[in-house]
Amino acid sequence: MKTVHFGTDGARGIANVELTPEIVLALGRAVARTITAPTFLVGRDTRRSGPMLQAALSAGLAAEGADVIDAGVLPTPALAWQSSVRNVPAVVVSASHNPFGDNGIKLFGAGGAKLTMETEAVIEEEMGRILDPAVRGPRPVEGYGVGALVAEEGLVDAYVDHLGSLIEGRRLDGLRLVVDSANGAATAVAAQVYERLGADVVAIGCEPDGTNINANCGSTATETLAAAVVEHGADLGLALDGDADRLAAVDATGATVDGDELLALFAIDLAERGQLAGNTVVVTVMTNLGFALAMDARDIIVKETPVGDRHVLAALDKDGLSLGGEQSGHIIFRRLATTGDGLLTGLVLADLLVRESRPLAELLDGLVEHVPQILVNVPVADIGLLEGAEAVWSAVAEEEADLGGLGRVVLRPSGTEPLVRIMVEASGDGVAEAVAQRLSALVGYELQSAAGLAAQVDG
């Protein structure tokens, strides 16, 4: 029985193959049965499959008696903010930074935080029951019990106004920015955010056609942005991803700045202003070792979580902390937002540059000395076989022992794709590359062998 599974950031798959209207309709019904709320907010990014899947999802919610507010194309963090303000759950149809042929579903509970993995597991189970013809479901709602679908205007303007209120009355006058919206959900929003505060903005990546989202643009491909920053003599370049919940930056020289460097800059700035709660910043296991060394040198505590901004948020809330994020550019300013917000991150960065009156390259000079890091993605047929691959985990332990305190290995299943991700950090020329090559070859061999054996047993 075909269904979908939730990973580190929602459920994703190939649109109309793994995420079909039938599957998403069942998912909508399962969500409504699990999260019993009278009203849901539903939005999407600019993918061609978005309207189709949003319609199916909304139909599933309405079929269970829930009203649906259609937010149309809107950044994921804007939906999360609306969820927080209205105290209603929200659903975003988006595959974030993935190619346009993919799509996905992100779920937020009332209050704007992503659902726990436990709640997502319950939704998966309920969806399985809905899709099983042998299971008799509850009596369907009818007549006046069916939910209403209503489009709402003005959500973009409300979000722009909200972001503009978060920098305590300061402005961005005199700052020239290039903003790349990745032909995605922030297309109608991004330039407005910064222009309203006085910045001179050059907007690129803002001509979505349904198929060009994230295509050679945005946070995963900053080359075009870098060229535009240099061409226009800009102070700063901001690159969003398809649903605008992450950010990569480019300095005035055209050099790309990753999430680790941004997070270090923000942590130090907040600490100096007495606004870094607990004098602590939360990161994931994928954060470069150089970040931890930079924070240690400034007596800032680093707390580490598994990959995924939901884990970062959980750690922030558990200890009442204010800042956390990922190397990918998901950064959470907990006192300002409930999730990663690329537009907010860009705004905080632009505000910092104006306050410091120094170029970004100068602020970052020598801040994070990256330990050489290699990331290899190994395609596998069945990601579930990794947990029991004893030879793989034994090899990981041996490689880490050989590295001693001069490096580390992080090997994990992707939460969004059929990949095993291998990250190796190690000092010394070619050391990280050699370890990653050995482990990737072993993962490929062991998991393919296990998959073949499983197929023989099933046969």
Catalytic residue numbers? Answer: 96
User: What is the three-state SS of the chain?
Assistant: CCCCCEEECEEEEEECCCECHHHHHHHHHHHHHHCCCCEEEEEECCCCCHHHHHHHHHHHHHHCCCEEEEEEECCHHHHHHHHHHHCCCEEEECCCCCCCCEEEEEEECCCCCECCHHHHHHHHHHHHHHHCCCCCCCCCCCHHHCCCEEECCCHHHHHHHHHHHHHCCCCCCCCEEEEECCCCCCCCCHHHHHHCCCCEEEEECCCCCCCCCCCCCHHHCCHHHHHHHHHCCCCEEEEECCCCCCEEEEECCCCEECHHHHHHHHHHHHHHCCCCHHHEEEEECCCCHHHHHHHHHCCCEEEEECCCHHHHHHHHHHHCCCEEECCCCCEEECCCCCCCCHHHHHHHHHHHHHHHCCCHHHHHCCCCCCCCEEEEEEECCCHHHCCCCHHHHHHHHHHHHHHHHHEEEEEEECCCCCEEEEEEEECCCCHHHHHHHHHHHHHHHHHHHHHHHHHHHHC
Q: Specify whether the CB–CB gap between 447 and 385 falls below 8 A.
A: yes
Of 37, 24, 107, 86, which is closest to residue 66 (Cα–Cα)? 37
CA-based radius of gyration for the chain: 22
Copy the structure tokens of residue 295.
Answer: 């924070």
**Residue 304 bridge partners (DSSP):** 283
Q: Which residue has the tokens 């550019």?
A: 329
Copy the structure tokens of residue 17.
Answer: 């193959």
